């Protein structure tokens, strides 16, 4: 017989999953942009739209799974980003229209600093594998709470849209 704490932990995990089921395949999403993210990014797990594969190759070298790399490459194309920067390059990068990738190598305490630094730029922040450990998950939740725009949680990554004139909203996909 399984112990009670294991059963409670399993129930909590399933509860989080049911939060994501609500917007599965775009049902219940009222924003046209988020609907496009669901249909063109999250649901295309393996195929990459367009000819540009540079971000995909970089993410694969960093150890990101093929599925997540393809999804982030498609998000990069959908958002119309002109460049991507990885890990500590954000603080040196001053231009708008970029995608900032936060990999697992970044200390969880730095996540809120990244969001604060990005408030003055028009960028897309992607936190890859936000649930890899409890410290990273708590730091990601704190960063989402301090963020003033649209945020999208797709289990394998969290997207924070900075300065895009969308209302503060957090969507589980």
Number of Cβ within 10 Å of residue 120's Cβ equals 11
Q: Which tens digits make up the pLDDT trace of 119-163?
A: 778 889 999 999 889 899 999 999 998 888 889 988 889 999 986
How many C-beta neighbours within 10 Å does residue 132 have? Answer: 12
Instruction: Give the mean pLDDT of 105-115.
Output: 88
What pLDDT band is residue 47 in, cutting at 50, 70 and 90?
Answer: confident
Pairwise pLDDT comparison (27 vs 64), residue with the higher score: 64
Of 76 and 23, more confident: 76
CB atoms within 10 A of CB 7: 11
pLDDT tens string 153-168? 888 899 999 866 777 8
Q: Which H or E run includes 158?
A: strand 157-161
Percentage of residues of the chain with pLDDT beyond 90: 30
Higher per-residue confidence, 25 vs 49? 49
Q: What is the pTM of this model?
A: 0.80
151 DSSP β-pair partners: 160, 170
Range(s) of the domain holding residue 19: 4-172
Domains in the chain: how many in total?
1
Residues 3-24: what's their mean pLDDT?
60
């Amino acid at each position: 017989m399984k112990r009670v704490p294991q059963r409670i932990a399993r129930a909590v995990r399933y509860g989080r999953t049911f939060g994501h089921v609500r917007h599965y395949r775009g049902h219940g999403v009222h924003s046209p942009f988020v609907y496009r993210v669901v249909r063109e990014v999250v649901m295309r797990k393996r195929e990459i739209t367009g000819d540009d594969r540079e971000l995909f190759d970089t993410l694969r070298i960093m150890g990101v799974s093929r599925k997540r790399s393809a999804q982030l490459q498609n998000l990069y194309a959908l958002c119309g980003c002109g460049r991507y920067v990885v890990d500590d390059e954000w603080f040196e990068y001053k231009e708008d229209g970029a995608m900032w990738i936060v990999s697992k190598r970044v200390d969880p305490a730095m996540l809120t600093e990244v969001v604060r630094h990005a408030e003055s730029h028009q960028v897309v922040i992607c936190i890859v594998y936000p649930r890899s450990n409890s410290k990273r998950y708590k730091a990601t939740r704190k960063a989402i709470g301090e963020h003033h725009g649209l945020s999208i949680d797709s289990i394998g990554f969290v997207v924070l849209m900075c300065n895009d004139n969308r209302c503060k909203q957090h969507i589980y996909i």
